[in-house]
Structure 1
């Protein structure tokens, strides 16, 4: 990819009654963004005019276009995804706001799948009101994995040199132990190592693997998963020449800041990884979906209905998501050798 090429970056607006439209407007009010990409918002001009007025965002301007083929370079572009008047109820999830978030996501995903966009940044959705015939998934990650026909993906939280991935995603905690197998761990580690090398430019990545049980099982006293599943998977990856270490007790690992000694951490389940990550990097964190044929990022926060009417949302995470997407898109166009 030529450095002068402006990346075409799709933006889905998330739940219209949450803070998604607000952080989008705040981020794109800085015209320096246009030096890195041509943003394409999938939404409605009526909504963004209201948000711009409410925020007094005089520096936020956009060009309304009918399709990606009609994009105006060096401008924020907006494609209307629906013609009807959208009822806005800030701070309250509604069936209408859920449908709007899905319409935006589907339109952006279609253009991305058609090769008309280079990547996608998704604003937060409500996992309940977005459910529909076209969306029967627990979140963006699972939807995009299916939509882009990827055999597997990996949720990877990123903030600078801090990277935390999870083996299992959005599922009840009681189901986690039954899902973790040696084969699954090897697949997730393979995706993580390949992403670190190809997407983040780390030639020989180092990965720390967390245990599932307290104190990493205490040699089987507090659980057998570390001895029977996690450690054998780590040994297999080491035999293939990869720098994979563990299993570590998660509390001591993060408490002693051992994450600073590796390039990424693989947690066994959602909260084991996301609680320390968000404690360390809540405002700057980015959710990246590794393992997909496309590039997708999002802020690491939710819809934040409780502040949706206050216009105080911090846009840092969304801005970092946009920059990370641009960075990965450019890195992916560099020569890369797959991990085997």
Structure 2
């Protein structure tokens, strides 16, 4: 049993009120043993979460609080950040559900920055309905990068595979122009540091995927791989970083070459997420690496089609919770080790 005073406080933004986010949160904490690992704090409303409980017929006790200093380390805490009644329309994308998803996220990030929670776990949002004057971002990753310190890197991970994205939520038509030597260096540096500090890998090996099919076939299909990516990786490798590529993405995953590396960088969103979800959908974790605070989330979306039907699988959310806890511990240990003057970097 973890000493309650030492338990990691996990802040949880509840995501879109009409999706499956609250369902997977409740299902995760149906198992009371989860409270041995952490102290959860949900940012939202006991009324809204209780509505989901009743619809889903889940017996998960909640502890409503009005301030973070009222948390009970033996209970599932809900920090009530609004008092008004909010209409819940399960399975529907509405501006109301987007508005309160943003409220939950903003309040959770505020507490993360104030260090009143240790890590942040985010339930899925709807990227259209959440848009407003205060939230004008393509997704969580960009919002967090704008509100926290560091260089954010979207990383999808399981115990077998970690895929980061050189470009994130941008149109495919803009990817080629966005792939610059500076951006490649930044993302390799961020992944390299994260693999060391967050995963305890002393000499990480990183693979970078090609932008064009067959690595451009020596310019026949495209010149970016030979003129931009390859020379940039060669220059990075000369600094001692173990970075390799570019690799043609189809063969890289088809031959299971990814198993030879600690991290993989894809050049664009679907190049990384399509194989990742094919290999591990339902058990993967989305981690925003490179920031001064830890945030994870499940690898799925709002699931409007199954919302309120008690069909959502909580495995990915539970994995995201465990990942946040482990990364927090590893990062803390790394910082302690590097403070030691006898510590020698390898």
TM-score normalised by structure 2 residue count = 0.94
Query: What is the rounded CA distance, in whole Å, between the counterparts of 1:118 and 1:45 in structure 2?
Result: 22
Partner of 1:101: 101
Q: Is 1:325 matched up with 2:317?
A: no
Question: How many residues are matched?
Answer: 337
Post-superposition shift, 1:35? Answer: 1.2
Residue 44 of structure 2 corresponds to 43
* Cα deviations by residue, 1:41-77 (Å, 9 ceiling, x for unpaired): 011111221222222222x112111111111112111
Q: Give unpaired runs (5+ residues) of structure 1.
A: none
Instruction: Tell me the secondary structure at the aligned position of residue 78 of structure 1.
Output: strand
Aligned counterparts of 2:177 and 2:228: Cα–Cα separation in 1: 11
Within a 5 Å distance, the mapping from 1:261-276 to structure 2 comes to: 261-276=260-275
Structure 1: which 4+ aligned runs deviate by more than 6 Å? Answer: none
Structure 1 position 29, deviation (Å) = 1.1
Structure 1, residues 78-116: CA drift from partner, whole Å, max 9, x if none?
011211111011110111100110010011111111111
For the residues of structure 2 that align with 1:101 and 1:115, how far apart are their CA atoms? 21
Tell me whether 1:25 sits opposite 2:29 in the alignment: no
Q: Deviations for 1:111-139, whole angstroms, at most 9, x for unmatched residues? A: 11111110100000011111111111000
Q: Give 1:190 deviation, angstroms.
A: 0.4
- Give distance in 1, aligned partners of 2:334 and 2:247: 34
Measured in 1, the distance between the counterparts of 2:65 and 2:271 equals 43
Establish whether residue 296 from structure 1 lines up as the match of residue 295 from structure 2. Answer: yes
Query: Normalising to structure 1: TM-score of the pair?
Result: 0.96
Corresponding residue of 2:81: 81
Secondary structure class of the residue paired with 1:165: strand
1:140 is aligned to: 140
2: distance between equivalents of 1:47 and 1:121?
18
Determine the structure 1 residue equivalent to 2:280. Answer: 281
Distance 2:136 2:273 in 1: 23
Deviation string, structure 1 residues 160-213 (Cα, Å, up to 9, x no partner): 121111100001000000001011101100000110111011111111110000
Residues 1:3 and 1:177: Cα distance change in structure 2 (over 3 Å): farther
Distance 1:3 1:185, change over 3 A: farther
Say if 2:55 and 2:308, in contact at 8 Å, map to a contact too: no
1:172 equivalent in alignment to 2:189: no
Instruction: Give the aligned partner of residue 342 of structure 2.
Output: none
Measure how far apart 1:246 and its partner are.
0.7
Q: Residue 10 of structure 2 aligns with which residue?
A: 9
Residue range with higher mean Cα deviation, 83-92 or 327-336: 327-336
SS in 1 for 2:156: strand
Bigger shift: 281-290 or 234-243? Answer: 234-243
Which consecutive residues of structure 2, in runs of 5 or more, have no partner in the other structure? Answer: 340-344
Give the Cα separation in 1 of the matches to 2:46 and 2:259: 44
User: Does the 8 Å CA contact 2:56/2:309 hold for their aligned counterparts?
Assistant: no
Q: CA deviation at 1:243?
A: 1.2
Compute the displacement of 1:275 (Å): 0.1
